[in-house]
Structure 1
């Protein structure tokens, strides 16, 4: 028989659901930056606002833990999950900011592939958080996130090989490398989120 959720339990699950959806929104804005003739500079403040909302979600979760509101799972897992979601959004915001600050006009095709991985990972994560109450039923979620991270690793290596191939001047290589590594960090962040969910599931079983 499933245990009845307390009001405190519901608050935490709702906050994680909202935080994941906010990350989903942030990745969506980053995807818009790849649309032909996109005004990337205009997207920067939009994404910054989303990132600030993410900070508010994180602070709200931490405040509730520190206030003594009983969490539905271990406090360390609460902190780690909130922090991992926040880290993803920080990297997503940073990637767009770098594109604009560096005045990068044309991006290698592989960057679109990496952002596509982020898009799929964001969808999966947003779908998983409302089901966190039964984390042990989310096996397919963390397996697929791991597969996407491996896919992104391959794209990352191909991108590095291309930008160091001599096709780009040294300054452009430096700029593109910063963007590519930030995107890779965002993908790794989604894997950290999934790893925390898997650990929560193991403790629930």
Structure 2
């Protein structure tokens, strides 16, 4: 039996997959903080903050590719292979969507942002923080109760995001704004809502994993 096959049959180094998950969650949280900083900055500061966007995207790609490469090299995995793939790709999507929203803030050249965007920025950070905690709980084999409690907090945040989006959309189409402004803000609103949805998807995946292994 070749050494390559033996390596595949052996379990990967302990916590290696979870380390990649943690990297992906950390860069998603950093990206949410970047969005918050841009929303609360002036035009000149936005350019300085956006320098970080490329670095964060590269880190997100590295975390996803590292996890998938390890998955491809391993026959034995700590959790189901499809769960590893889904968590890895969704963590990357989370960062990608947030960074796209950050770039759009610059492209649309809106001088200042309303309270709705600022509220979205606040709950996005909260969701990303809870997601990072949830990944850590999964890595450390926390109890099902701890994992479901954290997941419930993420769901509550996502529900709050839905409420904000509903109110924002209703106000946006009230007739007070020109069409171009409506299109710009609607895109920003939806971008952050998509990021919150992805956090919720990852949360559901982790709860299902915990249930299977409890």
| Alignment match of 1:45 (pick from 45, 48, 51) | 51
**What does residue 165 of structure 1 align with?**
174
What is the aligned length? 200
CA-CA distance at 1:76 after TM superposition: 0.2
**Residues 9 and 70, structure 1, Cα contact 8 Å, conserved in 2:** no
| Alignment match of 2:23 (pick from 11, 15, 18) | 18
TM-score normalized with structure 1 length = 0.92
The answer on 1:132 being equivalent to 2:141 is no
TM-score normalized with structure 2 length = 0.88
* Cα distance per residue 1:111-155 (max 9 Å; x no partner): 111111110011111122122142523111111111110000000
The answer on 1:182 being equivalent to 2:182 is no
**What does residue 90 of structure 2 align with?**
84
CA-CA distance at 1:7 after TM superposition: 5.3
CA-CA distance at 1:109 after TM superposition: 0.9
**What does residue 154 of structure 1 align with?**
163
The answer on 1:111 being equivalent to 2:120 is no
**What does residue 194 of structure 1 align with?**
203
Structure 2 alignment gaps of length 5 or more: 1-10
Structure 1 alignment gaps of length 5 or more: 1-5
| Distance of 1:189 and 1:105 partners within structure 2 | 29
The answer on 1:9 being equivalent to 2:18 is no
* Cα distance per residue 1:49-98 (max 9 Å; x no partner): 10111011000000000012632100000000111111111110011111
Over 6 Å off, 4+ runs: none
**What does residue 73 of structure 1 align with?**
79
| Distance of 1:165 and 1:96 partners within structure 2 | 26
**Residues 12 and 74, structure 2, Cα contact 8 Å, conserved in 1:** no
- Point out the more displaced range, 145-154 or 31-40: 31-40
Aligned CA RMSD, in angstroms, stands at 1.5
CA-CA distance at 1:16 after TM superposition: 1.1
CA-CA distance at 1:9 after TM superposition: 3.4
**What does residue 3 of structure 1 align with?**
none
* Cα distance per residue 1:5-48 (max 9 Å; x no partner): x6533111111112111111111111111224262222223122
* Cα distance per residue 1:135-180 (max 9 Å; x no partner): 5231111111111100000000111111111221111101111111
